[in-house]
């Protein structure tokens, strides 16, 4: 196997996870005693999505539309959850469901087959399939938490020995005043940090890479995610910064 293919396989993992968990093994209700975010079928959130320039400023003419709708409630991996339907011109999200309880807000990421990201036709080894499951994007009770951890240690793939780690940690940064549809709210600002390291030892040479990238979530209590901001990070495959800003939310009603 070519060295670059091996290392890019691990980096592909980080690219997949970059849009933002600890597995919760107990059955929970999305409502429970939590009033921070009410979830129910046919709720919706509309966003304007903008590219950011090199200074982190919004490029107004880049705006595109994104809408998130919740479908019927179901049980997934022992959590009560709502399936997410995306109406968007931006990209296809890998998060399929959302859930909340007295501890936090979670998004579900389904099975990821890293073999789909290996394009070298000479590759015959299979790379382990990853199922991230529930990713915690907001913790109501702690200022810092670990959202996700994946480690590959001395995995032999043909002639290469590959090690890698992807860790996502969350931290409440601050609160700030947000004006949304003419009303001012005190919003919670959360930073998710993606920490990637990858190393490959090969007869043809060795390679080691490491990178960190931050995602800034702003939450309005009782409403949900007001904004998501991601800056460019070439090593992680993020070619340009982007921000999503909430424009309206509500209830569509059952068809």
Q: Is residue 203 in some structural domain? A: yes
Residues 194-223 pLDDT 10s: 887 878 777 777 777 777 888 899 999 999
Q: Is residue 110 in some structural domain? A: yes
pLDDT averaged over consecutive 10-residue blocks of the chain (255 residues)?
46 45 42 73 94 87 91 92 81 77 88 56 57 86 90 73 82 96 97 82 78 88 93 64 93 73
Rounded distance between C-alpha atoms, residue 64 and residue 89, angstroms: 7
- Number of domain units in the chain: 1
**CA dist 138 → 104, 143, 181 (Å):** 5, 9, 23
Q: Is residue 254 in some structural domain? A: no
Q: Is residue 255 in some structural domain? A: no
Range of the domain at 152: 3-249
CATH number at residue 70: 2.40.360
What is the number of residues in the chain? Answer: 255
> First-to-last CA distance in the chain?
52
Q: Is residue 16 in some structural domain? A: yes
Q: Is residue 243 in some structural domain? A: yes
Is 30:80 a contact under the CB 8 Å cutoff?
yes
Q: Is residue 106 in some structural domain? A: yes
* Model confidence, pTM: 0.76
């Amino acid at each position: 196997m070519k060295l670059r293919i091996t290392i890019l396989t691990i980096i592909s993992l980080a690219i997949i996870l970059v849009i933002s968990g600890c597995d919760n093994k107990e059955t929970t209700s999305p409502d429970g005693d939590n009033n921070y975010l009410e979830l129910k079928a046919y709720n919706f959130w509309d966003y304007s999505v903008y590219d950011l320039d090199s200074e982190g400023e919004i490029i107004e003419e880049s705006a595109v539309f994104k809408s998130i709708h919740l479908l019927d409630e179901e049980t997934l991996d022992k959590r009560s959850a709502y399936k997410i339907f995306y109406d968007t011109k931006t990209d296809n999200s890998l998060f399929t469901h959302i859930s909340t309880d007295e501890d936090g807000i979670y998004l579900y990421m389904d099975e990821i087959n890293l073999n789909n990201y290996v394009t070298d036709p000479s590759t015959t080894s299979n790379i382990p399939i990853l199922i991230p499951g529930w990713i915690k994007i907001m913790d109501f009770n702690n200022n810092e938490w670990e959202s996700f951890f994946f480690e590959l240690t001395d995995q032999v793939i043909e002639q290469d020995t590959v090690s890698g780690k992807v860790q996502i940690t969350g931290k409440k940064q601050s609160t700030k005043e947000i004006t949304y549809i003419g009303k001012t709210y005190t919003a919670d600002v959360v930073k998710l940090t993606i920490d990637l390291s990858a190393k490959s030892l090969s007869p043809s040479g060795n390679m080691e890479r490491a990178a960190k990238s931050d995602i800034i979530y702003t939450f309005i209590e009782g409403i949900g995610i007001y904004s998501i901001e991601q800056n460019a990070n070439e090593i992680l495959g993020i070619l340009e910064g982007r921000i999503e800003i909430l424009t309206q939310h509500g209830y569509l009603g059952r068809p």
